[in-house]
Amino acid sequence: MEFITGIGGVGGSLISYVIPFLFVLTIVVFFHELGHFLVARWAGVTVETFSIGFGREIYGWNDSKGTRWKISWIPLGGYVKFLGDENAASTPSKDALENMTPEQAAGNFHAKPLSSRAAVVAAGPVANFILAIVIFTGLILAFGERIVAPLVAEVRVDSAAEAAGFEVGDRVLEISGTRIDSFRDMQMIVSFSADERLEILVERNGENVLLEATPTVYEMTDRFGNVQRIGLLGIGADPDPANALHVRHGPLTAVWMGVEQTWFIVSRTFQFLGDMIVGREDTSQLRGPLGIAQTSGQVATLGLAALINLAAVLSVSIGLINLFPIPMLDGGHLLYYGVEAVRGRPMGDEAQEYGFRIGLALVLMLMVFATWNDLTHLRVFEFLSNLLS
């Protein structure tokens, strides 16, 4: 009976995760590929296929210019295939380049000028960043912003804040050069800065005082049972909700705030990767498709707005990852184009082939590692062990 209950629970969880996950991922992937598609059409490249997902086609149609739009069985990404591509990774087809007619050459992606090819490749990640900015802007316009003043209402005993010399009544002005307008601004920076020395400028009795503090590492369990490692100073905000302001912003301000939120995710991602390399961050924090699916399902319980916000965060992450200089990714293609610009001619076919193989191996290893972390976080191994014991 416990076995059946366990299977039922896992099955129910999978359903609640999969639908929000596919919703979020489809939005992000569609806009990424749409960026490639639109710039390719603008550059005169013939687009043969626009696919959401991989593998066998479920449903599709041809547009007036001959592009096959389709939805495929494996919903873990997508691709745009141009005339002259050998595969979905946009590897150039040598046969197509050698045997194309003048009409085909006009639409062949790999026969286009270097600047056009680079613009087409970069358009995917750029579209992801634009999507994130649009979503953040829309949410700010729709819901406004709740602002709690960055005033220190409490300094906890034996905390990093006490050691740094914080006092009740201090108003935080800047953290390591970043202006602070609300308590939330301060929380966002501190939570990503565990064990990192911060210079904090506060206003105290009409004078500016510079403090140095190192947030301590704190393991926080959220409402869904996920354990997260964050930085903590040990100061409290004004607990009276009546002192919080609800501010509505105009379109220009909302757009700027959307850009700031997008840049914050980019900068903190680089910080996390750097900390992970030097050992300050745990590599178990890396998540793969299963982890994203779990997060999507959990966030979906908070409402549509929260799920759309997650789509914006994921869009920034996918855009950024695709810019990494790894063959198989957009950044790898841009790296090849950079070499081509310096040499005055493309890299040799053999060098490109080895590069794509190395890139594929790196991507596969990262996926396996992230999926292993996902299975560990989801306690799948623990579940299987209990079934077998």
Q: Which residues are catalytic?
A: 33
Answer positive or negative: Cα dihedral of 186, 281, 24, 30: positive
Q: How far apart are CA 238 and CA 236, in angstroms?
A: 7
Give the single-character DSSP code of 347.
Answer: P
H helix and E strand count, the chain: 12, 12
Q: How far apart are CA 15 and CA 89, in angstroms?
A: 31
Q: Which residue has the tokens 């997008």?
A: 262
Q: How far apart are CA 380 and CA 389, in angstroms?
A: 14
Asked if 118 contacts 337 with a C-beta cutoff of 8 angstroms, the reply is yes
What's CA 148's distance to the chain center, in Å? 27
Q: Which residue has the tokens 């920076």?
A: 189
Rounded to 5°, the CA angle 248-262-74 comes to 120
